[in-house]
Each structure stands twice: as structure tokens, then as C-alpha cells.
Amino acid sequence: MQTKPWNFSAGPSMLPPSVLRQAQRELLDWNGQGASVMELSHRGAPFMELARGIESDLRTLLAIPDNYRVLFTAGGATTIQALLALNFAAPNQRADYVVSGHWSQTALKQARPYVNVQIAAQPAPFDRSPDPAEWTWSRDSAFVHYTANETIHGIAQREVPILPADAPPLIADASSSIASEPMAIERLGAIYAGAQKNLGPVGISVLIVRNDLLEREGQPRADIFRYALQAERDSMLNTPPTFNWYLLGLTVRWMLEQGGTRAFRERNERKAHTLYEVIDGSDGFYRNNVQPDSRSIMNVPFFLPSADLDALFVQESQRLGFIGLKGHKAIGGIRASIYNAMPQEGVDALAELMTDFKRRHG
Ligand code: PMP
């Protein structure tokens, strides 16, 4: 049926093969330095130049406006979720959270010790991204936070909402959708993402933040948690994860060469459509519980008629060389993560498996 293992892991997830091959070629001697990039000082001229180039490429890829800083941080998206509150809210100031699934809940949990958390919207069950017109927030809040793509539930808010002029700054967790399509960053106070889906390897994250937010006093905290200071020091307050940064750079360059976010939107919509078409045309054998206009183009969760069939599907997929299709333990079922690095060919192979499996077990 297929010619190679296709990796549908949710994150860490597949990287573009050409990126891995380049890293392999350069592993022992990067940039003519006679050493690996991971063996060199982050403060040396070659790495500083690399880091500047990566930021510049990322700014081009995501069309980041000049009045935003780009930080490269360790600790993952979860650490950012806690530090948002410490940096951009006064002690116990109100902050409004849109809760559209598992990762919104995580974001809220990380902030709870530091701010007065209020829920701006929370559908039950999690089957859609709530309409921004129905979000509740206060003008006095530090910020409004939402999750652009719920990686486990496969729920997306693909358009960056435009809030009224008197609304607090909007902050987006775009961990599993950044660079998957054009995004109106200028509508946001900040946007962040762990790299391990679309941007490269785990171990580095990106925080893009508007200058005025960096001027906020925030809460008492150690210097290492001060985003304004990190910005001042080019994300090098301490030793950064240099190899991950380098791999992120290769991945960003690859996305630019592939045509950027517009090209990826087209490809990703087509890939997602391929899978949703099989699901919707399966007479209920495959089920996706998300309302059509909130369906993710990055993570496609689906369920078979029984947990036994879910397990059999996963088992069979593994035998055929598919990787990472087992759904997250929070909701079970199957999940196909189809980030930018996944080609249409891999998705077609999965669609073929689904069609064939239904023929045999439907
Ligand atoms: N937000 C979203 C949307 C995610 O998908 C994830 C991880 N899968 C996280 C936050 C947490 O990221 P990290 O593991 O980098 O802390």
C-alpha cells in the first residue's frame, strides 16, 4: 500500500527530510567551523549571525510587524503560559481565558497562581471554537488568551479575532498551527508556540510580543523570567538551546523555499479535506465530533465504532509502517497530525488505509 513509514505524530512530529539530511551533513563541521554548531559558543560571531538570520527568516515567513519582538525560549509552551501572567499582568489582575479544549485548560492552570482567571467562553462538550462575539472579558483584564488550534481535540480558531478597540490585548497559543497558514499577527498582543510541530524540534519555543507589552511591570520575578530583559539580550540571558535553534532555522528556511504560509494553507487544506472526506463519507464508521467550521487542518481526530476497533486500527497501521496515529489518552480514538512537513502522499496513504479498513471491518 505504501512505500515508507508515514509519521503522524502530534509533537514531537516529523521534520522535513531535507532538513534532517542537511543537519546530518553539517553535524561534524558546521559552516566551515570544524566543529558542530552544538559545540560552539552562543556568543561567538558565527552563532550570533546564524541567530540573526533565523529571526529575519521567521519575520519574513510570518510577516511579523516591526513593533514586535521575537524571543526564542527554552521550557516549552507551558513555561510561556506561566510567564505570560508574571510578565504581562499585575499581581492578581484579572485575565480572561477562552477554553476550547485540553490546551486552553493547561494555559489557564499555569496562570491561576498569579492572576484572577476568568473564563471568557467554554463550550461543553468541546466541539467548536467559541464565536469571539460571545467571549466575555473585562476592559481591566491584563489580556485575553485563546488557543488557535487545540492539538488533542482538533478544534481551530483559524481567523485571528478582531476584538473591540477597548478590549485588552489578545494572546494566542499557536503551538500547533503557527506557519500553517497566514495569520494576522498585528491583531495580537502576543503569540507563542513550542517548536515541535511546525517549526522544528522540541526544546525551543517562539514568543512574538508587541513592544508595549514588554513595558509592563508584571509581577515580582527573577531576571531569567523577564521577557523584556530576554528581548534586550537577544534571548541569550543564559545558554540557549543552540542546536534546536539551528534546526528551527533550517525548518523556517525550508518553509520559505516551499512558498511560505500561503502555499502551506493550500496544501494543508487539501490534506485535511482528504481525511475529512473519508470520515464524512464513511456512513458513520469513522466519526469526527467537531463542528465543520471549527475543524482543524493540523490535527484530525476520529473514532471508530468501538474502542476495540480503534485499537485494531492503530495496531494495523503500525504493522504497515504508520507512526503516531493513536489518539491522546485524554480522549482516545485516532488522531492524524498533518503538519507542514507531512506531504499529500502520506495523507493519501492514510486515506487508503482508512477506506480499506472500513471495507474489511465496516
Ligand atoms: N499548547 C498546545 C496547543 C500544545 O499542543 C502543546 C503541546 N502539545 C502545548 C501547549 C504544550 O507545549 P509544551 O509541551 O511545549 O510545553
227 with 121, same domain: the answer is yes
Residue at 8 is within a domain: no
Q: How far apart are CA 68 and CA 111, in angstroms?
A: 23
What are 137's strand-pairing partners?
none
Dump pLDDT digits (tens) for 113-170: 999 999 999 999 999 999 999 999 999 999 999 999 999 999 999 999 999 999 999 9
| CATH code for the domain of 113 | 3.40.640.10
Please count the structural domains in the chain. 2
147 versus 2: the higher-pLDDT residue is 147
For atom 12 of ligand 1, the residue with the nearest CA is: 77
What ipTM was reported for this prediction?
Answer: 0.99
For atom 3 of ligand 1, the residue with the nearest CA is: 175
Q: Is the pLDDT of residue 340 over 60?
A: yes
Which one of 13, 72, 73, 78 would you pick to mutate in the ligand 1 pocket, going by the greatest count of ligand atoms within 8 A of its CB?
78
Q: Exposed, middle or buried: residue 66 (CB in 10 Å: 0-12, 13-18, 19+)? A: exposed
The stretch 315-339 carries a mean pLDDT of 96
* Res. 2 pLDDT band, cuts 50 70 90: very low
CA neighbor of 295 nearest in space, from 238, 335, 345, 242: 335
Residue 197 annotated in active site: yes
Residue at 167 is within a domain: yes
Q: Report the nearest atom of ligand 1 relative to the CA of 177.
A: 3
Residue numbering of the annotated binding site for pyridoxal 5'-phosphate:
77-78, 103, 151, 173, 196, 238-239
The reported pLDDT for the residue numbered 285 is 98
Looking at 6, 103, 137, 254, which residue is catalytic? 103
Q: Is the pLDDT of residue 1 over 90?
A: no
Dump pLDDT digits (tens) for 281-324: 999 999 999 999 999 999 999 999 999 999 999 999 999 999 99
* Res. 3 pLDDT band, cuts 50 70 90: low
241 with 303, same domain: the answer is no
Residue at 53 is within a domain: yes
281 with 231, same domain: the answer is no
171 with 314, same domain: the answer is no
Q: Are 27 and 35 a contacting pair, CB within 8 Å?
A: no
245 with 266, same domain: the answer is no
Choose the final residue of a domain: 224, 257, 290: 257
Cell 485524554, residue? 330
Q: Is the pLDDT of residue 184 over 90?
A: yes
The reported pLDDT for the residue numbered 4 is 72
Which one of 81, 147, 157, 176 would you pick to mutate in the ligand 1 pocket, going by the greatest count of ligand atoms within 8 A of its CB?
176
Mean pLDDT of the chain: 97
156 with 283, same domain: the answer is no
195 with 223, same domain: the answer is yes
Q: Is the pLDDT of residue 351 over 50?
A: yes
User: 12 CA distance to ligand 1 centroid (A)?
Assistant: 10
Q: What angle do CA 66, 67, 68 make, to 5 degrees?
A: 90
27 with 112, same domain: the answer is yes
For atom 4 of ligand 1, the residue with the nearest CA is: 175
| Sign, Cα dihedral of 40, 41, 42, 47 | negative
Question: What's phi and psi for 117, nearest 5 deg?
Answer: -75, 130
The stretch 218-230 carries a mean pLDDT of 98
Looking at 6, 57, 197, 234, which residue is catalytic? 197
Choose the final residue of a domain: 196, 224, 257: 257
Q: Are 143 and 189 a contacting pair, CB within 8 Å?
A: yes
Dump pLDDT digits (tens) for 54-91: 999 999 999 999 999 999 999 999 999 999 999 999 99
Range of the domain at 318: 260-361
DSSP 123: -
Q: Report the nearest atom of ligand 1 relative to the CA of 174.
A: 3
Looking at 173, 245, 254, 271, which residue is catalytic? 173
Dump pLDDT digits (tens) for 240-281: 999 999 999 999 999 999 999 999 999 999 999 999 999 999
Q: Report the nearest atom of ligand 1 relative to the CA of 147.
A: 3
User: 178 CA distance to ligand 1 centroid (A)?
Assistant: 12
The stretch 97-111 carries a mean pLDDT of 98
Percent share of the chain, pLDDT over 90: 98
Residue at 327 is within a domain: yes
Q: Is the pLDDT of residue 103 over 60?
A: yes
Residue at 264 is within a domain: yes
Residue at 11 is within a domain: no
131 with 83, same domain: the answer is yes
Residue at 316 is within a domain: yes
Residue numbering of the annotated binding site for L-glutamate:
43
User: 285 CA distance to ligand 1 centroid (A)?
Assistant: 30
For atom 5 of ligand 1, the residue with the nearest CA is: 151
Choose the final residue of a domain: 204, 231, 257: 257
Strand ranges inside the chain, DSSP E: 68-73, 94-98, 116-121, 144-147, 149-150, 155-156, 170-173, 190-194, 205-210, 299-302, 334-337
Residue at 191 is within a domain: yes
Q: Please list every protein residue whose CB sits less than 6 Å from any atom of ligand 1.
A: 11, 76-78, 103, 147, 151, 173, 175-176, 194
277 with 136, same domain: the answer is no
38 with 182, same domain: the answer is yes
| CATH code for the domain of 339 | 3.90.1150.10
Q: How far apart are CA 120 and CA 143, in angstroms?
A: 11
The stretch 193-222 carries a mean pLDDT of 98
285 with 346, same domain: the answer is yes
